[in-house]
Amino acid sequence: MITFDLRLKKLEQDIQHATSYAAFKEASLLHDELSGANEWKATDTSNDYDYKLIRKRVQRLQIARGKNDSHGLMSILHEGLHGNLGNIANPAMRTGCKIGTKVLIEQFIQEVDLALQHIYNADERHVDFYEKLSFFEETAHAFGRSCLMLSGGAGLGFFHCGVVKSLNEHQLLPTVISGASAGSIIAALVGTRTHEELLDSLRPESIYNAFKSWRQWQGLGKQSLFDSTVLENALIELFDLMTFEEAYKKTHRHITITVSPADLHQHSRLLNAKTSPNAIITQAVRASCAVPVVFSPVQLKAKAANGDILPYIPNRRFADGSLMADLPFERLARLYGVNHSIVSQTNPLAVPFIAASRIDATNLWDITARHIGQLAKTNSIFAIDIIERLTSNKNAKLAIHKVRSIIDQQYVGNINILPERQLRNLAQVLSNPTLESITTLIESGEKATWPQLDVIERNTKISENLRYYLSQLKLREAKELGHAS
């Protein structure tokens, strides 16, 4: 593989300064061709995945499909189809190139796609309708799905707009999305807008007009340092009195807003169409954005069957969702069968310490550094638990408990999309945005997403196709039974 070439340096500059995904992709493909990465892609062998298993599975799928053996295809897929079969989702499988991965891996995904299509279209004299329905239900459940989690980050949260914009434009936006703090605003936008509406809502001008004065100093001696009126008005303008259930019926996206309790002995809550269908999105987002001291905690609201607005979880107030559930992966897994995560991470407490790719430690130094980090985290939690136990003041105990929650969280996913590490980013955390700063953050989010688009497409294609065919079969069943509207 070529290690130095002026043409490669030029292409690397083109990749870094690309102004569109098309330009980024073209330069990346040319770089792989010139650098010799295409030879790496074409070579099946690698110590980083089980190429023999994948090669054999491809051959078996091709043979079964060639024989028009739908039951054989179903049997092969039932044997062990999952998102990381043979370690094909290993981040190391794209370190040898700028874009793409091993041809064998892409061939396997294509063969699975063709097999699913074949089963769906199979002659129902041989594979009856309910056998198909059962296969797609079971396989979709077993295979799982991906989620997009948008972290907290205050003023840096507009970075999420660029991430969502890029995923939306390339039809790669997962249907399970969570948001905490600033991320809750963008998650709510996704959950309440159709594809076309979202294109308009994510324009820099639209975001700027809604949030240009979200930070208004209120002064010391108040419930909070900043007046939340402008923020509340912006959220009402965006989401009105829509509930989580109403949002799901409109977009069929499963959005979750995380909130943290403003008192002790309570766990963070995930608000969505499953757990709190009648809760009002505006108040949920307002609560999730209530950074302690910066904004006052919030009483949640719900909509009754007759349209009346009522308190939700009376006598409780909620605050910043990122304090206790920045990335609520485990609970999303239980609710929606999620087993793969895409994270847009702007939390200033986390970004400096994480990498975009979760590649396993391979040398002694990396293993030692990871172990030391885990020990430091465990010891910090132990020390905080002792301090909390010895503290009698309720407010102090609450503050200590929140610090523990921040340290104890996981801030990374399978795929991590991060802003550039720049000191100027810190200045934007609690400042009112300008049109220029929002435009820059959105463009930064788009550019940070481009290198991950092909990875996301590979990792989500099978699950999305499984659920598409399942939805089509269920729609057909509903029509035949006379249940379709």
Quick one: pLDDT at residue 408? 65
Neighbours of 473 (CB within 10 A): 19
pLDDT of residue 400: 63
Residue the block writes with tokens 């790719």? 357
Q: pLDDT at position 366, please?
A: 61
Q: Residue 1: what pLDDT?
A: 47
Domain shared by 343 and 194, yes or no: yes
As a whole number of Å, the CA-based R_g of the chain is 24
Q: Half-sphere exposure of 160 toward its Cβ, with a 13 Å CA cutoff?
A: 34
Q: Is 206 a catalytic residue?
A: no
Structure tokens at 461: 């294609």
C-alpha 41: how far from its chain's center? 28
Q: Which two tokens stand for residue 164?
A: 């969502």
Residues 123 and 250 in one domain: no
For residues 280 and 232, the answer to whether their CB atoms sit within 8 Å is no
Give the whole-angstrom CA distance, residue 398 versus residue 265. 9
- 295 and 158, same structural domain? yes
The pLDDT value recorded for residue 367 is: 66
Best CA proximity match to 333, nearest among 147, 475, 458: 147
Q: Print the SS3 string covering 180-225.
A: ECHHHHHHHHHHHCCHHHHHHHCCHHHHHHHHCCCCEECCCCCCCC
pLDDT tens readout for residues 229-273: 888 888 999 999 999 999 999 999 999 999 988 765 567 889 999
Buried-exposed string 418-442: b where 16+ CB fall within 10 A, e elsewhere: bbeeeeebeebeeeebeeebbbbbb
How many folded domains does the chain comprise?
3
Strands 309-311 and 301-303: antiparallel
Looking at the structure, do residues 269 and 327 belong to the same domain, yes or no? yes
Q: Report pLDDT digits (tens) over 35-53.
A: 999 999 999 999 999 999 9
The answer to whether the Cα torsion of 209, 212, 213, 214 is positive or negative is positive
Give the separation between CA 193 and CA 98, rounded to whole angstroms.
33
Q: Taking a C-beta distance cutoff of 8 angstroms, is the pair 76, 111 a contact?
A: no
Q: Which residues, in sequence order, are CB contacts of 318 under 8 Å at separation 6+?
A: 259, 260, 261, 262, 269, 287, 288, 290, 297, 298, 300
Contacts of 314 (CB under 8 A, 6+ apart): none
CA 31 to chain centre: 29
Residues 155 and 295 in one domain: yes
Q: Provide φ and ψ at 393, rounded to 5°.
A: -65, 130
Of the candidates 320, 326, 344, 463, the residue annotated as catalytic is: 320
* CB-CB contact of 260 with 325 (8 Å): yes
- Alpha helix ranges (H) inside 36-181: 37-42, 51-66, 70-80, 103-120, 129-143, 159-169
Task: Say if residue 239 is in the same domain as residue 337.
Answer: yes
E strand or H helix that includes residue 234:
helix 229-239
How is residue 303 written in tokens? 């909509």
Asked if 388 and 269 sit in the same domain, the reply is: no
Domain, as residue range, for 131: 1-144+462-481
pLDDT at 153: 79
The pTM of this model reads 0.85
Give CA–CA dist 413/343, Å, rounded: 6
Query: What is the per-residue pLDDT for 60?
Result: 96
Query: Domain of 294: which CATH number?
Result: 3.40.1090.10
**Residues 309, 386 within the same domain:** no
Considering 181, 201, 288, 341, which one is annotated as catalytic?
A: 181
Tokens describing residue 76: 């092969």
Do both 213 and 302 map to the same domain?
yes
Q: Are 1 and 83 members of one domain?
A: yes
What is the distance between the terminal CA atoms of the chain, rounded to a whole angstrom? 59
Let me know whether 133 and 7 are in one domain: yes
Strand partners, 147: 341
Residues 357 and 447 in one domain: no
Active site residue 320: yes
Write out residues in the chain with pLDDT < 70, as ranges: 1-4, 215-224, 263-266, 293, 321-322, 349-367, 369-371, 373, 376-377, 394-409, 421-431, 483-485
